[in-house]
């Protein structure tokens, strides 16, 4: 995973992270709401991690109020929503970026990452 790298701890790119809730009550189409381009459905800019402990709740929809559950979600490989029902044949259903994959962090590494994020 290379989304949070460099001096700003962000690649400043737009990625489908799986948190779009496409076709659901709290749907957030991400960048496509501004560009009107279907290729941007579910894409969100990678935020900088600088000062991240002061910016919660996290994810574009405020889903996480603590770092540990968020890190554990990414450690497991992130969200990979599947198109079901009427969305099963929807050609615009966003697919989570392949950059997000299981991190295989140990419990100690997760704890260290939580501590690191708290001091940024």
pLDDT tens per residue across all 120 residues of the chain: 689 999 999 999 999 999 888 888 888 999 999 999 999 999 999 999 999 999 999 998 898 999 999 999 999 999 898 888 888 889 889 999 999 999 999 999 999 999 999 999
Structural domains counted in the chain: 1
Exposed, middle or buried by CB within 10 Å (0-12, 13-18, 19+), for 2?
exposed
Please indicate, yes or no, if residue 69 is contained in any of the structural domains: yes
User: What does the pLDDT read at residue 65?
Assistant: 97
Please indicate, yes or no, if residue 5 is contained in any of the structural domains: no
- Give the CATH number, domain containing residue 82: 1.10.760.10
User: What does the pLDDT read at residue 1?
Assistant: 64
User: What does the pLDDT read at residue 100?
Assistant: 92
Cα 77 to Cα 115: distance, rounded to the nearest angstrom? 21
Please indicate, yes or no, if residue 111 is contained in any of the structural domains: yes
- Domain residues for the domain of 105 are 14-119
Please indicate, yes or no, if residue 6 is contained in any of the structural domains: no
Please indicate, yes or no, if residue 3 is contained in any of the structural domains: no
Please indicate, yes or no, if residue 9 is contained in any of the structural domains: no
pTM value?
0.83
């Amino acid at each position: 995973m290379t989304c949070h790298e460099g001096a700003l701890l962000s690649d400043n790119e737009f990625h489908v992270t799986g948190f779009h809730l496409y076709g659901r009550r709290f749907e957030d189409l991400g960048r496509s709401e501004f560009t009107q381009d279907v290729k941007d459905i579910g894409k969100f800019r990678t935020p900088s991690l600088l000062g991240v402990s002061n910016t919660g709740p996290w994810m574009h929809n405020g889903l996480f109020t603590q770092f540990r559950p968020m890190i554990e979600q990414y450690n497991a490989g992130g969200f990979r929503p599947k198109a079901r029902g009427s969305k099963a044949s929807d050609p615009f259903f966003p697919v989570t970026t392949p950059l997000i994959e299981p991190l295989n962090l140990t419990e100690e590494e997760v704890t260290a990452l939580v501590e690191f994020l708290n001091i940024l």
